[in-house]
Structure 1
Amino acid sequence: MSSAFDKTLAALDALHAQDPQTTTLSDGTAQPQELAYAQRMSRWLERLQETPSDLLGIAVRAQHLQRWKLQRSDYPEGRIGYLTWRRDQSARAGDTTAAIMEEAGYSQEEAKRVASMIRKQGLGRDSDVQALEDCACLVFLENYFADFSRKVEHDHMVRIVQKTWGKMSPQAHALALTLPMNDTCSALVKEALGSD
């Protein structure tokens, strides 16, 4: 691995692999939960953009970096607690990723740019930040939506789908509508979008 990009991804994946929680993949094998998430993010980026920049590729791979180190339960209940937790998560992931990038040979400016993407600064105005958000929404809908919908009250789940949809680009909308979904999830999406 000679390139700064390869070194950075390898370092990120080594941290992802330390996640104590595991998930079972479709082939039945277990994998650290965060590593599975990061790889899913990268796969969606490949579908969204034919030739994404290296900086975007790093930001997408690092979005949930060491997320297990800041527990949601350590923050107050409710929306303010949730938003504070998310802000702290993205700041921590951005700072850690920036340090890894500089160590691998990227400039401070490039590292700051990636940290800014991970913090989702410029969402709605910055095409790279939008691509990262699209990946996150698609990973959620493809891999976590069904389980999540079983734990959350129906009307709240409809609002979550509406908020998720509102953050996505038209291209991501089109991809999301091709995802296989069980009847419950499909009905939730139709209700959220106001379609029959």
Structure 2
Amino acid sequence: MSAQKQAVLDAIDAANAHDPNLDDDRPEALLYGERMTAELDRLVPNASDVLQIAARGQHVERWKLARSEYPEGRAGYLAWRKAQAVHHAEVVTGLMTREGYDAEQVEAAGRMLRKQGIKRDEEVQALEDVICFVFLKWYFLPFAAKHSAEKIQSIVEKTARKMSSAGRARVLAEFDLPNHLAAAFQD
């Protein structure tokens, strides 16, 4: 691993170590970043350095923009998600610039984190597939325990729509989903 990439990953981890929210007695954002890296390594073993950085920085400093500061409902949720994406991109691209990455690489990471190019840009799509896998693997069951069957079905369908065809096929191969949820991942 290059010293340049390691410096950015270390800076992301250092920022995320300050997350006051804990998961398994560890800062949530730090654990999430590690999970993103592990899934990226598994799903996209030859990922570019920029994609590796974007995956690790996907939730950098997520706790700094509280959902409660945005209106209730779908519009408020979407505004919060967009603000998060912009914040993550700003933090990560700032770290990359500081470590000497060129403008093209910095912009590519920003596009990935802002999710600009899903279904059109291979690396943006790869990041989205990894995000979906991390959600399904570590966060879906706790989420499902708190929501109605209708809400769960809706979230699963939205998740599947964001994924590539190859990603959906891999979900079907790797997860034992009930038929009504698995149907969302079938082409």
* 8 Å Cα contact 2:119-2:164 kept in structure 1: no
The one of 107, 114, 118 equivalent to 1:119 is: 114
- Provide the residue aligned with 1:27 in structure 2: none
TM-score relative to the length of structure 2: 0.92
* Runs of at least 5 residues in structure 2 that lack an aligned partner in the other structure: none
RMSD value, Cα: 1.7
CA distance in 1, matches of 2:40, 2:2: 23
CA distance in 2, matches of 1:50, 1:144: 23
C-alpha distance after superposition, 1:131-184 (max 9, x if no partner): 110111000000011110111111111011011011112332233234456xxx
Amino acid at match of 1:192: L
Q: Residues 51 and 194 (structure 1 numbering): CA distance in 2 closer, same or farther, change over 3 Å?
A: closer
* 8 Å Cα contact 1:142-1:179 kept in structure 2: no
Amino acid at match of 2:33: A
* 8 Å Cα contact 1:41-1:135 kept in structure 2: yes
CA distance in 2, matches of 1:36, 1:8: 17
- Provide the residue aligned with 1:164 in structure 2: 159
Give the secondary-structure state (helix, strand or coil) at the position aligned to 2:9.
helix
* Runs of at least 5 residues in structure 1 that lack an aligned partner in the other structure: 25-29
- Provide the residue aligned with 2:180 in structure 1: 191
CA distance in 2, matches of 1:114, 1:180: 29
- Provide the residue aligned with 1:15 in structure 2: 15
* 8 Å Cα contact 2:172-2:182 kept in structure 1: no
* 8 Å Cα contact 1:91-1:119 kept in structure 2: yes
Percent same amino acid among aligned pairs? 41
CA distance in 2, matches of 1:115, 1:2: 20
* Deviates further, 2-11 or 84-93: 2-11
Give the aligned length.
Answer: 184
